[in-house]
Each structure stands twice: as structure tokens, then as C-alpha cells.
Structure 1
Amino acid sequence: MSDYKLGLDYAKAQDNLDELSAYKQQFHIPKDANGKALIYLCGNSLGLQPKSTKAYINQELEDWANLGVEGHTDAKNPWLPYHEFLTEATAKLVGAKPIEVVTMNSLTANLHFMMASFYKPTKERYKILIESDAFPSDKYAVESQLRHHGFNDKDGLILWSPREGEELLRNEDLEAILKEHGSEIALIMVGGVNYYTGQFLDFKRITMLGHQHGCKVGFDCAHGAGNVDLDLHNSGADFAVWCTYKYMNSGPGSLSGCFVHERHAYNKDLNRFTGWWSHNKDTRFNMRHEFDVLPGAEGWQLSNPPILSMAAIRASLDIFNEVGLEKLIKKSKKLTGYFEFLLKDLGEDTIRIITPENPEERGCQLSIQVLNADKALHDKLTEAGVISDWREPDVIRCAPTPLYNSYEDVYNMVEQLKALL
């Protein structure tokens, strides 16, 4: 784009103009052995720690130390309803209504819980459609669901693949698959933002197509939550799941989020796995009541919330809530566009970006292929102080995250790459 300019002065000027630049100071930036800050472009794998996280977790440790079991009701942030403290900010972040979201479990566990309810195979309609290059855990999960229901996991899987010589998925190819196999497909379950290419799929169109053919539709938003405008309620999707440790900066292995569309909120007949936290709050502790499911996404919970993990999520969500998704996405598009501009200046005979060029079809991740390069190049980048992410066979994934990355970070990363090339 002609708006961008080369040179360090331009990067510094953009940082001075950036209304979100101060947020970088609110995060711990990893340093090298000499104490120099690394260029961290790996928020798509693990987000950085907000400096406020420690205080949020310490509050719960204090209350546990001082109150013991009474902390469930008497802690500063009582533990019994703790997951509810995350609901509103989570709903805002993923474009949902509060009744549609809950924070619980880990991502693949949530995917299985959702499939227990929304994958209802019959002899005629039992197949599951996923993208051909889905994140491995998604593929393993759907294959195991097919086996669990007594189907062959190879026959039962339909792959939506890019065309020969292309990396990106086309909607018209999905339309063609559904035209041919729609009556056999029980569930469409795709990654909302592809982990490898960074392609952000059209949720609304996919859902509409799936529903037209009688399929249930769900999305894995691991690379989307906190990165793009998911607009889950308006997408019409039946369900979605995501992790909180990537763009949502909640710490390694932290809890997952879950969306169940409002139209399913009061359907008590939906098959589901249950536990005491999906039971009516008013009678939950009267242990002898028959099961009475909660409405909305909360009705899929099993157990009482792990408070320390939720405290870390809350710390991060408070920052997102303060900034607002709109401002983040505005900066994200500009910062990623600048990154793309600098990479293209290295020469398209050297660098190939496989992420979509259209800013509406991607988040902040750019997946880069370097001509004749292998993992050694990525290793040298790491030694030069750039933390990015290698994915076989030949892609370096970089995510200039708008909350804590600067224009200068992006400029310096490309300079290091240039030096290595």
C-alpha cells in the first residue's frame, strides 16, 4: 500500500501516532541473556503475560490463605460464581450474547462436549466436514467421534481442500461439496482462522450453506478469539470453541471458551454430558434434587471453576474491555499491512506470503515462505532475537499483535530477516 514508507523513522513516527502504543508497557516482554527485549511475534502460539496478572492471581491466593473454604462465598471475588465475572467481557470479545458464552475446560475437551450435543449421526447422515489442513487436534477429535459412533473415520471424514497449487480455501468449493454430499453430512466443523495460512473464513456464509443442507455448523476459533471480529451470534453458528492462551494472553494451557447459539439456550432435550455445575444454581447444593439443566452455554459446564486460571483470564479480559475490539482490529490491520509492505519490499522472488492479502480475510498473522529456505533460517532468526513460529514444511508464522507489538518491532524483524537473506 502506498500509504506506508520504508525506514526506521517512519516506524517510530507511527508508534508516536498510535493511541494503543502505551499498552506495550502493560506486558512482560521476554529478554535475551543480555537483558535486551526480544522481538516477540508469537502471540498466535502463546500470548504474553500482562503485568496485572500476578496481582489478580495473588488476590485469590490471599483469600485462599486467609479464608480457606469460606472463600467460595466471602472472597473479594467469591469463587462460587467466579466464571460469571468473565461472561460479559468474553461475550463482547467474540460477538455473542452473555447467555451464549461460558469459560470452562480445555479446547479439545469443549469440542467433544459440543459434538456430544450437535453431532447426531444417522445411518444416512453421519459424515463430518473439516478443512483438509485443520489443526491436528481438531482432526483427531472428529475422527474419534466418528469411531465412537461406530463409523469408519476415513469414510466419514469429508475434506474441504484448497485447489491444486493453492493454499487458501474457496467458498465455491465448499458449495460444490455440499451440493454433492450435503445430505450425508451431519456436521461442518472448521477452524475459523486457519492456523497455517492465517485465512479468516466467512462464518456467516459457511453457516448459511451448512444449514441450507441440514448440517449443524461449529467453529474452532483458537486463532480467532482476541484477533478478529468473530461476530458469533450474527454468524448463526450452532457452536464455537476457542482457547484463551493465544491472543487472549491468559497463560500456558489456560481454560477454553465456549459459544452455544441462543436458539439452543432453552432446549433441555439436547443430548449433553452433564455435571453439577450445569445444574440449576438455586438448588445445586441441595444434593438430592433431580438434574435441572441451566439455560444457555452455562448448561454445558461440569465442574466448579479453576479459580487461579480464571483470575489470569480476567486480568487479560479487563485490558481487552478497556481497549475495545474495534480499536484493536483497526491497529491490527494497519500494523499487519505495514509488515506485509516491508516483506514485499524484500522481493516477491524471495518472499511469498500465503496469508490472504485482503485484510477482511485475515487477522494479524502472516505466514511467510522464503525461497529455498528451511528451518535453519527460522533458527537463525531466533538467535537474532526474533521469536516467531516454524510450521512444517516451510512456513514461518509471525503475528504482530496489536496489544503489545509496535511498528518498530515489525521494522526490526524485517531488518533481521533481510540481514540473514
Structure 2
Amino acid sequence: MTDLNTPLSDDFVVPTNSDIGATLRPDCESKCTYLCGNSLGLQSKSSVALIQEEIHAWGTRAVTGHFSHPQNRPWTKCCDDVHPLLAEVIGARKSEVACMATLTNNLHLMMDSFYKPTPTRYKILCEAKAFPSDQYAFRSQVLAHGLDPATAILEVSPRESEYILRQEDIIDIIDREGDSIAIVLFSGVQYYTGQVFPMELITKKAKEKGCICGWDLAHAVGNVPLAMHDWDADFAVFCTYKYLNSGPGGIAGLFIHEKWHETEQPKFAGWWGNELSTRFAMLPVFSPIKGAQGFQQSNPSALTVASLLGSLNVIKKAGMMQPLRERSVQLTGALETALKQSKYFVPLPEIPHNGTEVGFTIITPEDPSARGAQLSLLFLPLGSETMRVVYDYLSKSGVIGDEREPDVIRLAPAPLYNTLKDCQHAVEVLESALDVVSKTKNA
């Protein structure tokens, strides 16, 4: 067991209370309590160093840096060090992974390749509250095929008065509707609740029914152990600025199982997906790199790739996903225990949907294997201003989580840099915030 009182890595830069405008904190130059790595990971010092090297290479080598680089990272091969690390993080082979583009762009590329509706098999199965960008992509893809989203998009919702999807309900709908489903496409970790979906089981059931199975790993990559190759997923897409700490808008990635490498060629070719040996010959006919990297289109930013590489090197030094996951379970469990000791905590089955008392519950699964490094707190009374007031108080007190309208605040103890002290302090400030709300309400 790791020491939860010290960070797993000192490589990360934590903003001060002054930096984030925590006006209720007298110790303005102390580090804030940052529990928002599920939205944007902290800056890695290693990333800063590698970015500075690229800035230097740009300044001293200019265009020749594509082939001659001071640190032997020519820009024509800038992803070469990243691909094996990404493959290790998601449980894939190097040829199955491409570091490229942005999350939704990659989702569209994959759906253009794998969503091939027929008159009888045309539906997309997803969770009802998928991240909005995914929902927009599903709808636009369906419309592009001349289909009606109302009938072509099949959404799975939690049962009445519940917040997470039951495994048996997902499997049941694949069993019942599988012959009409073209693609099963869930998020690996549900962004709103923090629920980890049973990816291996869903993939297996989808394949049994003849469906293509893809995954949006935005909140899963770097958060929970993955085995995309062994689970036989057809494709996956992911961003890298959350638990992989690549920086705002950092370069994304995709996975395509090797079984598709001979038959599923890029539909929208670009020169960076051409074999390096002939890329600069400027030939008129596209000759793709075999595997996922053939789907690259334009050259990636060397600066964003360097930022991702810096953080991946830190993750590699920490031992990759197994030790990170073990620490994550410990930290998230400690945060949960502290929250449940609050006088304002209400067990989920007991929350009053029309009540007036101030409090909160946790809508993230209690089972550690069914959640990542995140707890989503639902504030009471539902539909009131409680969440907004609490969030404002937390922020001004130097505790950074993020809010999801109308009633949820997400707190994410990232295993690389968060500590037990962060979790305990966050709960203390939360208690004070709810004291303020309660006194104001009863005044």
C-alpha cells in the first residue's frame, strides 16, 4: 500500500490559492486542493521540460527539425515514443494505436469506418446521458445515412429513481435488440456519475449478437486498467488531457483492433497516414501505414505530443496502471468514508425527491470495481441553489472540483498527485459550505 499522505509523484505543478482566486483562504500562497483531474489534469514538470526542448528545436533548427532534432526526436517521428506508452495504458499493441487529432474528430472517423447501417441492422446503442459531444456525433452520423435519430439511436437509461445503469439491463437490451444494432458504443467511464461500465462483458455480448463494439475512453484512459486488444473491442477513441495530463485541448488518440488492419482502410486519407518511407516523395497515390496509424491525416503538433510524452513518462515511472489503480481505489475509498461521516450525508436510497432539508448523497457506485477516481455528489434539496452555493464556497476556499448542472459536484482524487490530506480537507470545507447554506435557509 502506498503512503496516501504524500503524492505518488512530485512532478506536478499545483496552483496556489492566490492563482485560482480563493478569496476565503488567508494562506494565499499555499497550494490549492485540486480534485478536478477528471476534467483537466495538472501540469507535469516533465511536460514543461519537453515542450521547452521543442521550442528550442524550433528556434535553432526551424524546418530541418523534421529530420534533425537536438534530442533525436525528429518531428516526422515525434509520436514514435508515445505510441508504445499509449498502447500499454489502454491494453493494446503499438500498431493498434494512433496519437492524433481530437476526441470527437476521431469518433467521427471511427464511425465513418465502422457504422455501416443496413435496412435491418442500423441502430446505435449508447447510454442515455452520454457526454453531449458523443450524442451530437451519433445524431449527425445517423442523419448522414438518411436515418431518423428517434429510431436509429437506442439509449439505455437508469431505472426510475436510480442514477447508474445496471449491468443486467445493458446485457438484456443487447440480447433483445442485438439483431438490429449496428454499433454498441458506450463510454468506458460515465462522465457524470463516474460509473465504470463492464467493458469486457459488454464487448463480449455485443460480439455474440454480431454487433460492432466501440468505446469512448475519455474518462477511462489513465484512470482504470484497460485491455482493448484482449477484450476484442473493434475500436476506441480517447482524449489525453484528463488523467493523462497532456494539457488543455491536448492531442487525442484512437485504437483499431488488429483484426481490421487488412480490411478496414482509412476512408479519409491524409499525408501523415502515408508510410514514412514515401511520405515526402509526394506521390499521388496514398500508401497507408498498416494499422491505426494509417488513419492519421495531418502532422501533429510537436508541442502537444511533447506535453503528452512528458506525462506518460511520469506514469511509466510510477509503474503504469496497476499501482495507479491501487492507489486510486484507496484514495477514493478514503474520500467516500469521510463524506459519509458528514452530518449532511444522506444514503442514496433515502434521498427525498421533494424534500427541503439541505444535504448531499453520492450517486457514484459504492463498489470500488465499478467506479474510477471520482465521486459525484448530488446536493439537496433537488433543483435548489444548494449545489451552486456550495461550489462557489469550495472554489473560494481553494477546493477545486467541477459542477454539473443542476445539482452535482464531481470530486476526483487523481492517484498521481492527490493525497489523503486533499480528501480530508475537501470534506471539511464541504461541511462548512453546507453549514452556510443551512443557516441561510433557516434564517
Flag whether TM exceeds 0.5 (same fold): yes
Q: Which stretch of the first structure deviates more once superposed, 55-64 or 310-319?
A: 55-64
Corresponding position: 1:301 with 2:291: no
CA deviations over 1:197-229 (Å, ceiling 9, x no partner): 000011111111111111111111111111111
Q: 1:271 Cα shift?
A: 5.7
> Aligned with 2:278: secondary structure?
coil
> Aligned with 2:300: secondary structure?
coil
| Residue 415 of structure 1, aligned match among 428, 438, 441 | 428
Task: Tell me the distance in 1 between the aligned counterparts of 2:283 and 2:45.
Answer: 44
| Residue 393 of structure 2, aligned match among 348, 359, 380 | 380
| Map of 2:142 onto structure 1 | 146
| Map of 1:27 onto structure 2 | 12
Task: Tell me the distance in 1 between the aligned counterparts of 2:329 and 2:172.
Answer: 32
- Residue type of the alignment partner of 1:60: E
Task: Tell me the distance in 2 between the aligned counterparts of 1:144 and 1:265.
Answer: 26
- Residue type of the alignment partner of 1:31: T
Query: 8 Å contact 1:129–1:187 — kept in the other structure?
Result: yes
CA deviations over 1:175-216 (Å, ceiling 9, x no partner): 222233212111111111000000001111111111111111
| Map of 1:395 onto structure 2 | 408
Query: 8 Å contact 2:266–2:295 — kept in the other structure?
Result: no
Corresponding position: 1:38 with 2:38: no
Q: 1:280 Cα shift?
A: 2.2
| Map of 1:88 onto structure 2 | 84
| Residue 53 of structure 2, aligned match among 59, 62, 67 | 59
| Residue 369 of structure 1, aligned match among 378, 382, 385 | 378
Alignment of 1:10-409 (within 5 A): 17-18=3-4, 21=7, 23=9, 25-33=10-18, 34-75=28-69, 76=71, 77-267=73-263, 269-270=264-265, 272-324=267-319, 325-347=321-343, 348-349=345-346, 350-372=359-381, 373-409=386-422
- Residue type of the alignment partner of 1:364: A
Task: Tell me the distance in 2 between the aligned counterparts of 1:112 and 1:99.
Answer: 20
Q: Point out where structure 1 has 5 or more consecutive residues left out of the alignment.
A: 1-13
> Aligned with 2:372: secondary structure?
coil
| Map of 2:356 onto structure 1 | none
Query: 8 Å contact 2:6–2:419 — kept in the other structure?
Result: no
Tell me the TM-score normalised to structure 2 length: 0.88
CA deviations over 1:211-268 (Å, ceiling 9, x no partner): 111111111111111111122112211011111111111110111111111211232x
Distance 1:20 1:295, change over 3 A: farther
Query: 8 Å contact 1:116–1:273 — kept in the other structure?
Result: no
> Aligned with 1:254: secondary structure?
coil
> Aligned with 1:130: secondary structure?
strand
Q: 1:389 Cα shift?
A: 0.6
- Residue type of the alignment partner of 1:399: A
Q: 1:416 Cα shift?
A: 0.7
Q: How many residues are treated as equivalent by the alignment?
A: 405
Q: Point out where structure 2 has 5 or more consecutive residues left out of the alignment.
A: 19-27, 347-358, 435-443
> Aligned with 1:112: secondary structure?
helix
Q: Which stretch of the first structure deviates more once superposed, 281-290 or 324-333?
A: 281-290
CA deviations over 1:55-81 (Å, ceiling 9, x no partner): 111111111111111101101211101
Distance 1:172 1:139, change over 3 A: same
Aligned-residue RMSD, C-alpha: 1.6
Task: Tell me the distance in 2 between the aligned counterparts of 1:270 and 1:123.
Answer: 24
> Aligned with 2:151: secondary structure?
coil
Task: Tell me the distance in 1 between the aligned counterparts of 2:150 and 2:198.
Answer: 26
> Aligned with 1:326: secondary structure?
helix
- Residue type of the alignment partner of 1:256: A
| Map of 1:3 onto structure 2 | none
Query: 8 Å contact 2:4–2:331 — kept in the other structure?
Result: no
> Aligned with 2:149: secondary structure?
coil
> Aligned with 2:361: secondary structure?
strand
Q: Which stretch of the first structure deviates more once superposed, 370-379 or 211-220?
A: 370-379
Query: 8 Å contact 1:344–1:351 — kept in the other structure?
Result: no
Task: Tell me the distance in 1 between the aligned counterparts of 2:110 and 2:5.
Answer: 39
| Map of 2:441 onto structure 1 | none
- Residue type of the alignment partner of 1:101: V
Task: Tell me the distance in 1 between the aligned counterparts of 2:5 and 2:92.
Answer: 27
> Aligned with 2:125: secondary structure?
strand
Percent of pairs with identical residues? 43
- Residue type of the alignment partner of 1:78: P
Task: Tell me the distance in 2 between the aligned counterparts of 1:281 and 1:341.
Answer: 53
Q: 1:352 Cα shift?
A: 1.2
